[in-house]
Chains A and B, each alone.
Chain A
Amino acid sequence: MNAKGLGSVICLAILAFSGELRANEPGVFADVTPLVKNAAAVRLALPRPDIVLAPTESLDSSLPPAFSARVTGFVRIVEEATYRIVASQGTLTVDGNAFTRPRTLTVGDHPFVLEWKRLPNAQPSVLSVSWSSNLFDEEPVPASAWVRAPSASGSDMQEGRRLANALGCQNCHTQGGTEAAMLGPKLTRIGSRVTPAWLFAWLANPQNFRKTAVMPTMNLTSDERSDVVAYLASLTNTSAPPVQTQAKVKPTVDAHGEDLWKSIGCLACHGSEGDTLAGLGSKYLPGALSAFLQNPLKSNPSGRMPSFLLDEDDANAIANNLMLSRNKAFESPAPQNANAAHGKALVQERGCLRCHVIDGTAAVPDASSAPAWNTLKSGRGCLAPVPPPKSPRYALSDRQRVALTAYLGTPNNAPAPRATFEALVDRFGCRRCHELEKPATIKFEETPPSLNDVAHKLKPAWLSKVLLERKRLRPWMNLRMPHYGEAATPLVNLFSAVMGATDNAKSAAPRASDEQIKEGVRILGRGEEGLACINCHDFGAYFSMGATRGPDMVSMFERLQPDWFKRWLKAPARISPGTQMPAFFAEMPAENADRRIANIWGALSLGSALPPPEGLNMGETLILPVAAAPVIVRTPWRGGSPRSIVVGFPQKISYVFDPDACRLTGVWAGGFLDVKALWSGRGGDPAKPLGVVRDVDGNAGLSLSPKGDRKAAQYLGYTLDKVGQPTFEYELGGVRIKEIVVPNPAGQGLRRTFTIPAGAPPLWLVVPPNDVIVTSVNGKASAGAFALQASPTKDSTWSFDLTLRGRP
């Protein structure tokens, strides 16, 4: 319970409606003047003042490394206290005054000015603003505290640069920005992926297929198009036939694929606001979409579509559903007898290869010359309202044209970490899922970690492992952090640069003494003096002992910056309002808290050599056997109800029933339960099944429609028969249902039987595909959902056999 955290959330909610807030856009403005004669100031919109600049770098690529900046905006204060706010460089005033001493800031937005004259020298310039108050220790001012008045004069130039990068302008108009512009997909084996019909229609107008498509309409006649298509279609994987791993496309929605689609994060980019994937069934050759999903970076290394680390089955399931959507306009066969050789020449000459790579095929030099970036004029070429016939036709809005125009002629004076960072974050869609200097745009049921403070939180080496080596820390989350491939490499350092963070791990305290380590380990454990951290955090290979699962402790030292760790332990709710992490150290004197935190850190520094804390369940077990009669245990269940009902049968098969949702959570064969966590010590923690649990009902189960719709179920209890097998009774949509699950009399597995009263409205048993095969014994099958139509005159029963796939 964290009343404090909740309290501050509520406070914030109230503040949002009070009149004291003068600014409502996250970020600050920087008016930057190059330190050269007669230079004009450039206004930049930045998410925060903090930055690390290498000697040759600048705040924006249009600016030279030497400049004077006047950063303005407001500091948002949500708790009245005595504050001290300091900048590592320049002069900072808040409400017109510098902080010669701490002073009280009331709740509301306080205008600030930071004057910074940056003269590069051999060392990187680090600008970071931190604060401290009587309520909390020194910390970097959180991104959420920087706000500015909404302003139309926000930087069009910056937006134009972002667009130019996304559209790949500089791929043709060279001598432009220094950031590598995004490339389109590789066309090396395009013929193995998509249909010629689709290619032919796509080239005519990509936006007809997908409104948000980047690809412009190229200046090609219909004949030229068919030649190009003939060439591209010939680019197949010659060493192997097209991938055929995917079973035939099922005519119905694959529920597992649907589950994945909704839960792993596809909707972050392909939701109602994102890129539609309609018509993919008309685009891909059989099996090719699944192959693409298994490794999108192979054909599209830009990272715009990252890899979700899907295995073949998962990819097939998702691909199956996407392939159900067709677009007839993209299925008219491409003209036959086209000239592929001519098509190849066109691809080489017309500039296709400026954005696309075809291994072994080079562009004809200078065949498609476009004016250099710095010679472009507004309202001409691609930017004209009606572009001339030879220009590629981009689907640009007026707003986008204004932004691109503002970017035209912008000099390129220095690399700018913030600009590079924004381009990559934009391409990867980081801000869709993560809070990063503003709230995440998509709200999922699960919240991915905030990136606001990530450079102060994580060591760069760990960030690199996450971004480049696919290290993942929260395996219990359904939402997946995808893999962006090598394109993400620059982010590792850019996070530090844009947050003004320096790696403080190096200046950490010296190695802890044995005594300190001992105390640290004691605190992690459940014994005397222990805070029982292992209850909620994973410990190496061992799961947390309670129902809550928090990040692994063994890798904390490898992952976290020591300063952040200390701040987190002292006031978790400051960093993550509403976190389940208790503020263990908030109430004790600072000296004691610091000592204990240092000792924990000392212990964590042992990494995988960290000795197991007291009370860690390392496979010690308390096995509950099943003898002649079924055994019932009620226990919280990992991933299930906290009041789950588990039933084990002498036939060495068990199931777990969820009395909250009235669903069959899972079944397993083999041993019954390890009740150590439930019945030893304070107990009450989830018992562990002694077998591989296969999901059964998932989010569906007995439903009011074939799609798995349900209303709240009302569990009423159970009755034991002579053998001791429970028959559950519950109400679903006003219908009183009885359900009994018993070992299958006909063989292996279980048989579940529903009894439905006379005259009940129709019900469906909807079981998502998984490792349990459901076969109807007397019900009528309809793929994925079984209809249970009650008799009008008498109670009726339906039985289903559950067979465990791959049972030993």
Chain B
Amino acid sequence: MVVRFDIARPAVMRSLVAALVFFTTTSAWGASPLVYVKKATREQSRQASLQATQQALPAIPLEPWWRLDGRFEVPPDGVVNVDVPPSGQGKLARKWRKAPEIKDGVEHRLPAPTQLYRTITLDRDVAATLTFGIDNGIVINHDGKAVHVTITTYIPPIRVLSIPLRLHKGTNHLQITAGIREKTTRFWFALSPISKMVTDELEQRLDEDFPRQTEDAYYRLQTIATPEGVPIEVGGMAYIKNRHGETLLLVCTRRGEVWTRTLQGQWHKYAEGLQEPLGLWAKTLDEIFVLQRGELTRLTDENQDGKADHYEVISKHWNLSGGHHEYLFGLVRNAKGQFFIAMCALGNASRATYLGWISRIDPAAPMDQRFEPWAYGVRCPNGLALNANEQLFVTDNQGEYIPSSQLYQVNKGDFFGHPGSMFANPKLPPWSEEPTVEELGKRRKAAAIVFPYGVLGQSPTQPLFDTSEGRFGPFAGQMFVGDQTSSAITRVFLEEVEGVTQGAAFPFRKGFQSGNNRLVMGPDGSLWVGQTDRGWGATGGKEFGIQTLTWSGKVPFEIKAMHLANEGFDLAFTKQIDAKSVKKARFTLRHYHYPFGRTYGVAPTGHTNVTGLRPQLSSDGLQVSLHVPQVIAGRLYELKIEGLSSRDNENLLHDYAVYTVNRTRSNVAADLSETKR
């Protein structure tokens, strides 16, 4: 093991000692091939170490690839005779041909499927790592045995995976089927002689030199005990006061129950027999509204025995077909006492009505005038919020016509792109003809925020404005959005640019136990997260539960806000920045967009790097301006920051932000309409 030092520091001795200790302990079973190179930042150190390690190791001799278009059955031993054209399907005679154009480490666009084959002849065993990126399915065979198989059910953005590959002495046969679905696949491939053991070791070393900052140090995650044997699959939450002024958490569950929990943790069943309520609004025990699939219901306890006994219909104006996708989401209420609800578009339009509609319900109106369709074209709108000005915000889940998950600012009459809604309002005259995808794309109102799919969550749920006035940390007034699939919470900063609401989204907190379905602010300024993953799936793994996030009082070093400026972006930070680090830091900004279409799941395209950012630190040390002479409307601007540190020498807790530009300030580029599609 060799240790190189670029920077002479007092730490050298410590490192040297550590390295020697490491050397002696590992020498018993053979020297580790890791060549550790310490640089200024963790990331720089990692890159330098990997490079040095690779140089120190004997290279893997790589022959050029052979390629074949179309399908191919790998022989059991994996030995492909490239001189024999494969038999079977296809109009044209297909032949294996040499493919020097397919270079390792370079992204290619290939027809799907493309077969790749190469032999690797070694004079020793090598524990290698195979890294590849693909936006499609893939099968990798080593000596005829599948070492990796992905069959995707949708087309995500390109995903990068590393798998260990134990190459043996002699001839190895490597065959890859790149692309299983669709017409083409983006694909790149690299084979490194560095094994996972070595990279794990490297991470350990990096942890020693660059201690990790964890989200948990700033926002503590705690799990709330739920009543034994009761599936608290949260469909709605609210904090209320009971008749004695006692504060209670009110929870409705997907199995149709409503529970109360005292601050001391005592649970009590308040109501039951509801149909999958996914919305709850309550102020006091006497004012509880639940949104069932079939109706908006008011619950009251008329005989005051502590259980609801009157289930009063406020509205059931919509029709259902009984399809399980006909979810009703809610529930928010404005100062006039009117509710907003939203219905999934994925129902059966031959019988159900108002699929894909956001609607308003006014309980004060006569029964037949209470329900008013408000806005439409949403797909799976599992989250509503009103801001202080009573502007309505609704999240939507990625799928057909919704290229990536998003957040809408909703005004009356708005249309958001999903055509399922067009046939679901019995009061609208029938559409003269089915609109084309182009027309839908033109008509739809752009989302205030687009959450890049798989990067900032996968299925957003409830948006919640931080009304803690600072008790929940430095983000008062901003929005938190739950995510179902990734068991995470995303943070959103919104601003109005020439009348259009847009803004930036940031990672906030991950590692929850289940799908984060509903959020509510606790009376102490903590964030309560109600969870369920039944049938929907979440990475957390637990079926249901409630967790809380509490601010530790320590301010994390974060990008607090990303403002659109006349020429570029102004980044506001939570802490003062070390001026020296601004020069050294790397700001990477690129823009791209999600093409609108009817396919379920599309990859973003048109990635363009923005250079010449000239980061400028403000005099108060809290703001960095990035210079972008021409910001383009209809694009997502994705920012990554490396190597920036605060004056108290902290690294950024999250180095990522993405800004959805619907309108520019200068209007210079507002007319680049073809880039919108």
Chain A interface (Cβ < 8 Å from any Cβ of B): 1-4, 6-8, 10-11, 14, 528-529, 535, 546-548, 578, 580, 587-589, 592, 631-637, 642-643, 645, 659, 679-686, 714-722, 726
Contact = CB atoms under 8 A, between A and B. Distances in A.
B232 interface: no
Interface string B289-309: 000111101000011000111
A10 B350 contact: no
Interface residues of B, number: 60
A108 B351 CA distance: 32
Contacts of A631: 273
A335 B308 CA distance: 78
Contact of A592 (B182, B294, B303, B311): B182
Nearest to B233: A679
Contact of B430 (A10, A642, A683): A10
Contacts of A682: 324-325, 534-536
B114 to A, nearest CB: 14
A10 B433 contact: yes
22 contacts: A1-B423, A6-B434, A547-B322, A580-B348, A580-B350, A588-B182, A589-B182, A589-B183, A592-B182, A635-B275, A642-B321, A682-B324, A682-B536, A683-B276, A683-B535, A684-B327, A685-B324, A686-B322, A714-B367, A716-B312, A722-B303, A726-B311
A11 B292 CA distance: 36
B89 to A, nearest CB: 9
B663 interface: no
B585 interface: no
A643 B255 contact: no
A679 B307 CA distance: 23
Given A7-B434, A684-B323, A718-B310, 5 more contacts: A6-B423, A546-B324, A643-B295, A643-B320, A685-B322
B182 A683 contact: no
A642 B349 contact: no
B326 A717 contact: no
A274 B43 CA distance: 86
Nearest to A640: B322
A750 B275 CA distance: 25
Which of B293, B297, B347, B355 has the most chain A CB within a 10 Å cutoff? B293
B313 A717 contact: yes
B349 A3 contact: yes
A673 to B, nearest CB: 12
Given A4-B434, A11-B433, A587-B599, A681 B535 contact: yes
Interface string B593-622: 000001110000000000000000000000
Contact of A10 (B316, B432, B598, B600): B432
A718 B294 contact: no
B252 to A, nearest CB: 13
A684 B536 contact: no
A627 to B, nearest CB: 13
Contacts of B420: 1, 3
Interface string B316-334: 1000111111110000000
B151 interface: yes
Contact of A718 (B311, B321, B536, B598): B311
B181 A588 contact: yes
Contact of A3 (B308, B312, B434): B434
Given A10-B433, A547-B322, A684-B326, A719 B311 contact: yes
A643 B348 contact: no
Contacts of A11: 433-434
Contacts of B303: 722
Given A6-B423, A578-B350, A636-B322, A717 B276 contact: no
Contacts of B367: 714
A578 B345 CA distance: 17
Contacts of A726: 311
Interface string B250-261: 000011100000
Interface of B: 151, 153, 181-183, 254-256, 272-276, 292-295, 297, 302-303, 307-313, 316, 320-327, 345-350, 355, 367, 419-420, 422-424, 430-434, 534-536, 598-600
Contacts of B309: 719-721
B94 to A, nearest CB: 14
Nearest to A7: B434
A632 B269 CA distance: 14
Nearest to A647: B273
A176 to B, nearest CB: 50
**Residue of A634, A636, A681, A717 most packed against chain B (CB within 10 A):** A634
A719 B302 contact: yes
Given A633-B256, A682-B536, A717-B297, A547 B321 contact: yes
Contact of A719 (B310, B355, B599): B310
A633 B313 CA distance: 16
Nearest 4 pairs between A and B by C-beta? A7-B434, A643-B294, A547-B322, A632-B273
A643 B422 contact: no
A4 B293 CA distance: 26
A546 B423 contact: no
Contacts of B302: 719
B349 A634 contact: no
A522 B150 CA distance: 15
A642 B320 contact: yes
A592 B181 contact: yes
Contacts of A592: 181-182
Contact of B433 (A2, A14, A548, A714): A14
B90 to A, nearest CB: 10
A636 B313 CA distance: 18
Contact of A529 (B151, B183, B272, B274): B151
A588 B308 CA distance: 51
Given A10-B430, A587-B598, A643 B323 contact: no
B658 to A, nearest CB: 28
Contacts of B327: 684
B293 A643 contact: yes
A633 B272 CA distance: 8
B272 A632 contact: yes
A645 B273 CA distance: 8
A1 to B, nearest CB: 4
Contacts of B292: 634, 643
A684 B181 contact: no
A717 B310 contact: yes
B432 A14 contact: yes
Nearest to A677: B324
Given A634-B273, A642-B320, A683-B535, A10 B434 contact: yes
Given A1-B348, A580-B350, A717-B311, A659 B432 contact: no
A674 to B, nearest CB: 14
A685 B326 CA distance: 10
Contact of B431 (A10, A529, A722): A10
Contacts of A722: 303
B349 A684 contact: no
A744 to B, nearest CB: 22
Contacts of A719: 302, 309-311
Given A1-B345, A587-B599, A717-B312, A633 B276 contact: no
A592 B183 CA distance: 9
Contacts of A2: 349
A634 B434 contact: no
Contacts of A14: 432-433
Nearest to A526: B535
B153 A529 contact: yes
Given A1-B348, A10-B433, A659 B151 contact: no
A548 B419 CA distance: 22
Contacts of B181: 588-589, 592
A3 B423 contact: yes
A548 to B, nearest CB: 7
B349 to A, nearest CB: 4
Contacts of A546: 322-324
B648 to A, nearest CB: 47
A617 to B, nearest CB: 13
Given A684-B324, A686-B322, A634 B274 contact: yes
